[in-house]
A and B are shown apart, each in its own frame.
Chain A
Amino acid sequence: MDENKPVISIRNLTCGYDDTVIVKNINFDVNKGEIFVILGGSGCGKSTLLKNMIGLYQPMNGQIFFGDDELTNASGDKRDMIIRKFGVMYQMGALFGSMSLLQNVMLPLEEFTNLPREAMTLVAKSKLAMVNLENATYKLPATISGGMKKRAAIARAMALDPGILFLDEPGAGLDPISSAELDELILNLSRTLGITFVIVSHELESIYKTADRVIMLDKDVKSIVAEGDPKHLRDTSENILVKRFFHRLPSLGKTGQKKYVPSRNKDTR
């Protein structure tokens, strides 16, 4: 495949639920080997966009290409082939509660490869070791911490060695140390294995640390408001929405600008 060709291309994508449009008519590319971050405030449609990209929801309009293959209209074996190109880590890990970490990681191997069992166990263990969970191999998801769950989920997503990993809010709900460890892990995997990462996040620190390129979505604009290197955006962008986000400015000034107008509503009596 052409090295410079984007691994994911989004064309004129519109997505939402029922008849509510959440992001409208967006276009972007993700290049091979980069760490690409989708960011934006709460409710701006980051997760919705991600779920459309991984084929959980059908977009209202537009196309999603993985290389030359279009996910939106694929079905059957073709779709399975495209889906096999990426792994997904969900916000809370979504590990199967009745299985140990090892079994969780082995599951995709059991289903899609015909490796001998010994080999599968070895592959699964090495994936767990890659995310520093070699000591928790036989534990159940309920008995490990949030950070460990996320790492185990990354191990499971990598089980079949996909070229692309989607991470949904990897840093959310983690303490600073675990979060930093996760950033290190992402950088490490990206550098050593050349995996392309698509990350949904709003944790500024880890974005600065890991992201090669970001796009920023906004709830009201319903579209991409900025695209580029996060530090560059922080330092140079003139867009008020971008400034607010990167400099953590609240959108309302100090409370107390509105005048009290007595209402004739008697409900509170």
Chain B
Amino acid sequence: MTNRTLPANHTGASIRISANGDRIRLGLSGRLDAPGTAFVWDDAITPVRKGSYAHVDADCADITYLDGSGVALLLKLREEAALSGGKLELINIKEEHQNLIDLTWNCDLPQLKKFKERRGFAVAVGESAGEILDGLYEMVAFVGESSVMIIQSIRHPGLVRWKDVTLSCINIGVDSLFIITLLGFLMGLIMSFQSAVSLERFGGEIFVPNMLGLVMFREMGPLVTAILLAARSGSAFAAEIGTMKINEELDALTTMGLSPMRFLVVPKLLSSMAMVPLMTIFFNIASLVGGAVVMLSLGFPLVTFTSRVFSYLDYGDFAGGMFKALIFSILVAGVGCLRGMQTRNSASAVGLSTTSAVVSGIIMIAFADGIFAMAFYYLGI
């Protein structure tokens, strides 16, 4: 339905219709700009569409102003007239309006293509499978290339841009210190408190530190840190590299003979690998502080808490957690960089690859964590 009110300062637009046999006369008058055209649109089109007149005359004598919208109305009238077997004629048209109309009058109007591609189920499945395989192939190639790069940079440390690594370490690690400590503290506090409430019924609050140490060091520490890395840094990597790709900076690197992998990806991977285990340690310690607060408030002395935590935790738990953190960091940073490199050429593509970096990062963490849980169980770690 078109808008049937005119704005307050509009000088008005109207239409007079007189039909006579197979001839209809539309007397258009007033200001046919966008609001004016909207105002008369239905009144003008409906009679032409409903009746089938051989002659449709549009009397343009009283049009005071005509712009693109008005011309669109005339074009639509012509189309409607033609569809019902008639012919539109413009009469009494002013020269300045005629000039405007001439710009578009003789062109074919672009038509929406009513063209729906029908694909068989098998073709659709095949194409999706192909896409998934392509994605996997790219990922495998990327993993291979980055492993080679990392090994190369360990063997020839001179090739690494250590300045970038340091900057990246500050971005990834130092700047996230506050949030990672806060998260650790709160999670330690909340988990201890909740489990203390449940265990209190059995008089077992004393076991809270055992649970807390194990859960934090083995599971939550690496997991939460890696998720934080995906959200904070994985997305940033994808956005940074993606924007560089759009600005042709990656091409510029390549034609300078510098590999974008070595230049952009390796520093990010190395700094993530260095920072995430450290961040995990901070998280773990903060969570113990949170747990200690709960235990102290329940009336246990601090020494009970610490001795129970450390008697139950062994070095293997700590090392396992650190190893997981290391692997997660490679996955998250790697997928962030990969998504950045895969960015296509538009600004919205950067947004997509950022989102995709976070989502794929978290999915990979989840998968890897599952694999670790199984492996550690069977290996008895």
Residues of A at the B interface (CB closer than 8 Å) are 51, 54-56, 80, 83-84, 86, 88, 90-92, 94-97, 107-108, 111-112, 255-265, 267-268
Contact = CB atoms under 8 A, between A and B. Distances in A.
A102 to B, nearest CB: 15
B108 A260 contact: yes
Contacts of A86: 255
A159 to B, nearest CB: 9
Nearest to A91: B248
B108 A97 contact: no
Given A84-B257, A265-B114, A258 B108 contact: yes
Contact of A264 (B83, B102, B105): B83
A94 B106 contact: no
Contact of B251 (A94, A97, A112, A261): A94
B105 A260 contact: yes
B82 A268 contact: no
B339 interface: no
Given A56-B251, A88-B252, A262-B83, A268 B111 contact: yes
A88 B255 contact: yes
Contacts of B79: 262, 268
A168 to B, nearest CB: 9
Contact of A108 (B112, B249, B256): B256
Contacts of B105: 256, 260
B23 to A, nearest CB: 19
B151 interface: no
B83 A55 contact: no
5 contacts: A55-B255, A96-B249, A255-B104, A258-B106, A268-B79
B347 interface: no
Nearest to B85: A262
Kindly list the 4 A-B residue pairs having the minimum CB-CB distance in the complex, ordered from nearest.
Answer: A262-B82, A94-B248, A94-B252, A256-B106
| Chain A CB within 10 Å, residue with most, of B103, B111, B248 | B248
Nearest to A166: B255
A161 B45 CA distance: 70
Nearest to A90: B248
B108 A94 contact: no
B379 to A, nearest CB: 41
B290 to A, nearest CB: 37
A97 to B, nearest CB: 7
A54 B255 contact: yes
B141 interface: no
A73 B125 CA distance: 37
B106 A255 contact: yes
A49 to B, nearest CB: 15
Given A255-B104, A257-B106, A258-B107, 8 more contacts: A51-B251, A54-B255, A111-B256, A112-B257, A255-B106, A260-B78, A265-B111, A268-B111
Given A96-B249, A264-B83, A268-B76, A255 B255 contact: no
Contacts of B248: 90-92, 94
A258 B102 CA distance: 12
Contacts of A83: 255-257
B346 interface: no
Nearest to A89: B252
Contacts of B112: 265, 267-268
Contacts of A97: 243-244, 247, 249
| Chain B CB within 10 Å, residue with most, of A51, A55, A265 | A265
B111 A263 contact: yes
B254 interface: yes
B180 to A, nearest CB: 25
